[in-house]
């Protein structure tokens, strides 16, 4: 298996990859061609099929495909030019080669979630978190496998669970400095702020947006889920439920970034800062780890609008 992270300029590539996206386009001269996004567990790469002759077999977005291609640099990023392609046979590959997972086992991450949940003192909030993260085996199974995003950050198996626990941990670290923060709200908000992504995003391997995800979005979906479940819990104080709902609705920080409201409590601001920190740091980590450009610097990262230095700190003597 020729993993994407190991490809270099000029490499002749014969291997199997997951076809994450497939677009049929037309050149300026009217010739049809394909633009593909291929992935394995080590990264993602664009691939072009300029000649749609009989050497290109039938395949669909979401298939594992075998390609014969050449790697080359285009706009400082590596891409493939494919000469032959067909749908892969099931006995030709291992599924584990294609889909990235959290570096830490999802079972270990889930155990950390349980420790956070068990430390909640408020009986109503504890019961609410349990309804989504503990009591229902099917929801727990989905948490352990679901991505946190389509592409930007934590877009892999277990990514949502990892993000939930990481955001909660960062939020709790703020309480060490700002001691009057409500610890139970920080935990409940951290663990539930993205619960709507279970509905917004389809399961992997595609991980695409669902219809509710496109029409409503995970913030509003999460608010609806938490409000409906929280309203059924008699131990949960309605005012505390409203504070938690505000945290969910405001966790993107600004209306221009998708939040219907901006944070107006200390806990909501702490959650927003924790979510922002984790998502941005994960973007930087993934940009460096999946970059295929030779040298000390990554290719230009469009979402973050910069290059990243990836070789560590030099010893200046």
What pLDDT is recorded for position 147? 83
Nearest to 14 by CA among 1, 27, 32: 1
Please tell me the pTM assigned to this model: 0.76
CA–CA separation, 124 and 235 (whole Å): 5
CA-CA distances (angstroms) from residue 139 to 182, 188, 216, 280?
A: 27, 17, 21, 27
CA–CA separation, 274 and 280 (whole Å): 10
What pLDDT is recorded for position 158? 87
DSSP SS3 for 306: strand
What pLDDT is recorded for position 315? 45
Q: Is the pLDDT of residue 313 over 70?
A: no
Tell me where in the chain the CATH 2.40.50.140 domain(s) lie: 4-97
The two structure tokens encoding residue 74: 């285009």
Conformation bin of residue 258: beta by default, left when phi > 0, alpha when psi is -120 to 50: left
What pLDDT is recorded for position 317? 38
What pLDDT is recorded for position 217? 94
Q: Which CATH number fits domain 4-97: 3.90.1150.10, 2.60.120.650, 2.40.50.140, 1.20.1250.20?
A: 2.40.50.140
> Of 73-77, 129-133, 303-307, which range is least confident?
73-77
What pLDDT is recorded for position 99? 75
What are the DSSP calls for 81-119, one per residue? EEEEEEEPPGGG--GGGT--B-SS-HHHHHHHHHHHHHT
> In the predicted model, what is the mean pLDDT of the chain?
91
CA-CA distances (angstroms) from residue 65 to 20, 55, 166, 221, 276?
A: 11, 13, 35, 35, 36
CA–CA separation, 99 and 179 (whole Å): 41
Tell me where in the chain the CATH 1.10.3210 domain(s) lie: 106-287
DSSP SS3 for 307: coil
Say which CATH class 106-287 falls into.
mainly alpha
Please indicate whether residue 36 or residue 2 has the higher confidence score (pLDDT): 36
Q: What is the pLDDT of residues 256-292, one digit of tens each?
A: 999 999 999 999 999 999 999 999 999 999 888 878 7
Q: What is the pLDDT of residues 84-100, one digit of tens each?
A: 999 999 889 887 788 77
């Amino acid at each position: 298996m020729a993993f994407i992270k190991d490809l270099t300029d000029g490499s002749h590539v014969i291997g199997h990859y997951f076809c994450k996206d497939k677009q049929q386009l037309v050149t300026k001269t009217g010739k049809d061609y394909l633009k593909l996004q291929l992935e394995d567990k080590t990264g993602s790469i664009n691939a072009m099929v300029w000649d749609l002759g009989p050497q290109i077999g039938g395949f669909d977005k979401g298939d594992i495909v075998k390609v014969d291609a050449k790697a080359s640099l285009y706009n400082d990023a590596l891409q493939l030019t494919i000469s032959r392609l067909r749908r892969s046979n099931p006995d030709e590959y291992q599924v584990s080669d294609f889909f990235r997972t959290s570096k830490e086992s999802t079972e270990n991450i889930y155990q950390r979630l349980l420790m956070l949940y068990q430390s909640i003192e408020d009986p109503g909030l504890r019961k609410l978190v349990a309804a989504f993260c503990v009591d229902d085996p099917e929801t727990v199974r989905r948490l352990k496998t679901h991505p946190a995003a389509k592409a930007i950050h934590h877009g892999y198996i277990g990514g949502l669970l990892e993000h939930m626990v990481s955001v909660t941990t960062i939020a709790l670290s703020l309480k060490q400095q700002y001691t009057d923060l409500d610890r139970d709200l920080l935990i409940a908000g951290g663990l539930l702020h993205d619960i709507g992504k279970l509905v917004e995003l389809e399961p992997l391997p595609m991980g695409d947006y669902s219809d509710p995800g496109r029409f409503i979005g995970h913030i509003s979906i999460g608010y609806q889920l938490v409000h409906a479940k929280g309203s059924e819990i008699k131990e949960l104080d309605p005012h505390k439920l409203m504070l938690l709902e505000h945290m969910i609705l405001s966790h993107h920080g600004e209306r221009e970034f998708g939040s219907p409201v901006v944070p107006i409590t200390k806990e909501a601001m702490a959650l927003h800062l924790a979510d922002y920190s984790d998502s941005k740091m994960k973007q930087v980590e993934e940009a460096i780890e999946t970059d295929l450009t030779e040298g000390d610097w990554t290719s230009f990262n469009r979402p973050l609008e910069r290059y990243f230095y990836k070789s560590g700190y030099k010893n200046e003597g």
